[in-house]
Amino acid sequence: MHSHAEVGLDIRALIEFYSSQGRLLRPQHKPSLDFEVARLIRDSQPAPLMVETERGSIVSNILATRESLFKILAVSSDAEAYSKMSRAMFSPARLTKLSAPSFKSLGNDLYKLPIPKFFEKDGGYYITAGVFIAREIGGNAVNASIHRAMVLDENNLAVRLVPRHLYYMFSKAEKANISLPAAILIGAPPVVYVAAASSPPYGIYEVEVANALLGGLLEGTPDLLEGVVLPMPSEIVILGEFLPGRRAREGPFVDILGTYDDVRDEPVFRVHEILAKPDPYFYAILPSGYEHILLMGFPREVAIWEAVSKVVPKVHKVRLPASGGGWLYAVVSIDKNTDGDAKNAILAALAGHPSLKIVVVVDGDVDPDNPLDVEWAIATRMQPEEDIIIVRGARGSSLDPSSDQRTLITSKLGIDATRPLSKPGWMFEKARIPVKVN
């Protein structure tokens, strides 16, 4: 039986844990990298999957359920998970357990890796679970973040960089007309994926956040990327550099909402060397799949929980349902002292996750994981004239196809679906049958 720490520290230990429980799906035939792998990943959700392809093993759906996330974080509840993540982001732990990993070199040919093509109109074959790690040129800041990367040829990738920390590092290097060395980790320790999907302040190394989450047990190596300790064990490490002044067309590609993102000119990453464990596991995340939604959404749940917790007595759960792509729509269950608390919770949630377009706030007796429960609360506890907030002219998400794609201006909706305290509580109580029949 693998401990919480083991499965958080090593993707192989997590795969072995799933296998020991009889949960790992292993199809016998070798699927094509053209769409067949993607179809198997989608059809098996949320069950963990391992497939053998002509270029090696692919694993997916390893972080597709909240149960898996809680096991990796060694927690048993939402509140514990949010609190632990919040603490770790502001108390990172330097990696002191250093090792010399045993890798073999695959040269610099990307075509030696089992990189899939996922959807019909995709612009190419995509690395979707690459943790990019780089150090600021002329500074000490180190960043780890997950980015999609489209194969251009055997030695080059087009990498989607949104204007956040890695983009800032690349832009700073490009202005000086120098390249930005970086490493891409595929199959990194699972806890690193959780931390790399988060957004701590600039200068906080997400890998050190991951180390804090597991009590300082994470191992690293200082030998592969100058001035940076990379987390180990990792299945595959791609070493290379972002080239100044080079752009390539990237996309189309499916975003978290299941729609195609725009085609853009993106920075080019030149591959110098690919290092891999013997018979490495290539980790692939299905775009818009359960795993994508949970990994991308969980850190935003933490941000919403932190923001709303400051204005109400208690936050029970925060959910970014798959129906909103795990991004645009949130349900927050709270306890309130006054009827104004729910409105403040709406505003706090919108501030905590600025990409949100719709927020529904419900009482603690309503389960945000059950859409029927949420809709029942809207139907029975909400008065449209009093309980709807519309915010006009706010900045939204580039992922929302209905927003102004140039300015990203959108309107936002908040629904207070909590029961009014001015009325007797029994009027809003859902009737229950108090016995069970075997």
- The catalytic residues are 255
Put the strands of the sheet holding 219-225 in their side by side order. 97-98, 219-225, 228-232
Q: Is the pLDDT of residue 253 over 90?
A: yes
pLDDT score for 113: 98
359-368 confidence digits (pLDDT tens) = 999 999 999 9
φ/ψ of residue 306, rounded to 5: -60, -45
Q: Which of residues 116 and 227 earns the better pLDDT score?
A: 116
141 CA to centre of own chain? 22
280-294 confidence digits (pLDDT tens) = 999 999 999 999 999
Q: Is the pLDDT of residue 1 over 60?
A: no
pLDDT score for 161: 95
Instruction: Name the band, by pLDDT with cuts 50, 70 and 90, for residue 70.
Output: very high
Q: Is 78 exposed, middle or buried (0-12, 13-18, 19+ CB in 10 A)?
A: buried
Closest by Cα among 121, 109, 126 to 41: 126
Determine the Cα–Cα distance for residues 318 and 312; give it in Å rounded to an integer.
Answer: 13
Domains and CATH numbers, the chain: 63-278 (2.30.110.10), 291-422 (3.40.1670.10)
pLDDT score for 3: 59
Q: Which of residues 402 and 291 earns the better pLDDT score?
A: 291
Instruction: Name the band, by pLDDT with cuts 50, 70 and 90, for residue 100.
Output: confident
DSSP calls for 131-147:
EEEEE-TTS--EEEEEE
Q: Is the pLDDT of residue 407 over 90?
A: no
pLDDT score for 2: 58
pLDDT score for 9: 93
Dihedral angle computed from the Cα positions of residues 253, 255, 260 and 261, in that order, rounded to the nearest 10 degrees = -80
124-146 confidence digits (pLDDT tens) = 999 999 999 999 999 999 999 99
Distances in Å between the Cα of 130 and the Cα atoms of 53, 155, 192, 225, 239 are 19, 16, 11, 16, 12
pLDDT score for 93: 96
Determine the Cα–Cα distance for residues 4 and 70; give it in Å rounded to an integer.
Answer: 9
pLDDT score for 60: 98
pLDDT score for 262: 86
The stretch 91-103 carries a mean pLDDT of 92
Instruction: Using a pLDDT cut of 70, give the percent of the chain over it.
Output: 99
Q: What are 66's two structure tokens? A: 């909240």
Question: Rounded mean pLDDT of the chain?
Answer: 94
The stretch 301-306 carries a mean pLDDT of 95
pLDDT score for 402: 85
Q: Is the pLDDT of residue 73 over 80?
A: yes
199-224 confidence digits (pLDDT tens) = 899 999 999 999 999 999 999 999 99
Determine the Cα–Cα distance for residues 355 and 142; give it in Å rounded to an integer.
Answer: 25
